[in-house]
Amino acid sequence: MKTFKEADFDMTFIYPADFVPADPKVTAPASYSLPSVKVANPPCVQTPLSVGSNAAGTAALVFSIIDDACPHILRQAQKLSDFVHAQLLRQLLRYGTPTIIQDVRTYNFDGHPAAIMFASASQTPPSAQPKAATSPATTYAAKVCMFAKVPASSFKIVRQLSVANSVLCFDFTAYNSDLLPPLLYLPVLFGDVTPRSLVPSTLVPSSLN
């Protein structure tokens, strides 16, 4: 297994060792910190970790941070359920026609409000061809977003537009639906809290097909 640490939020994510960047000349970072100096046109979304594996079928994971670089984007992301729903369907358009497998469900990850959604996308066969004997290629995906910090009040989330109220997202894609659940059970920890699965098993559908 490999370890990735986000220093700003004291978060550690543990993922399979065979997951590597698409470019073989690039090494996956072991840690990341948000830039201390804001540039003139900062990216609205930081993506410090993007890796994948072809060892047992194509699968990929991307970790991203939405901070206060673009306040309007952070404001959208803080509405976790709406954001996860819209973003996952939009991201799947590159793979074909999206289909919701399980719509957004919210949960609590060690005090961090979180949301998860499952969907798939199937390629549409060219209309000039007769109906194919084999079904179109399908991409399965899951998206998890959560607040980087535990809200000051457990009864009301104060959605301030600051680095402290950043949103962390994990995106998973795979051509084989069986590959998704193990990725969602990968360990995550904040600070010295005992590592636990990113997503509770009760929120993972028994079948993704």
Mean pLDDT, rounded, of the chain = 88
Q: Indicate the pLDDT class of residue 156, thresholds 50, 70 and 90.
A: low
What is the side-by-side order of every strand in the sheet holding 59-66? Answer: 46-53, 59-66, 167-174, 138-147, 112-122, 97-109
| Region 183-206 average pLDDT | 93
Angstrom distance (rounded) from CA 184 to CA 186: 6
Cα R_g (the chain), whole angstroms: 18
Q: Indicate the pLDDT class of residue 167, thresholds 50, 70 and 90.
A: very high
Distance, C-alpha 109 to centroid of its chain: 14
Between 189 and 161, the higher pLDDT residue: 189
Give me the pLDDT at residue 150, please.
87
Cβ proximity of 32 and 146 under 8 Å:
no
Task: Write out the CATH class of domain 2-35+42-203.
Answer: alpha beta
Is pLDDT at 101 greater than 80 in this prediction? yes
| Region 70-96 average pLDDT | 95
CA angle 113, 153, 68 (to 5 degrees): 60
Is pLDDT at 112 greater than 90 in this prediction? yes
Domain limits, the chain: 2-35+42-203
What is the side-by-side order of every strand in the sheet holding 196-197? Answer: 31-32, 2-6, 11-15, 187-190, 196-197
Give me the pLDDT at residue 135, please.
47
| Region 163-183 average pLDDT | 92
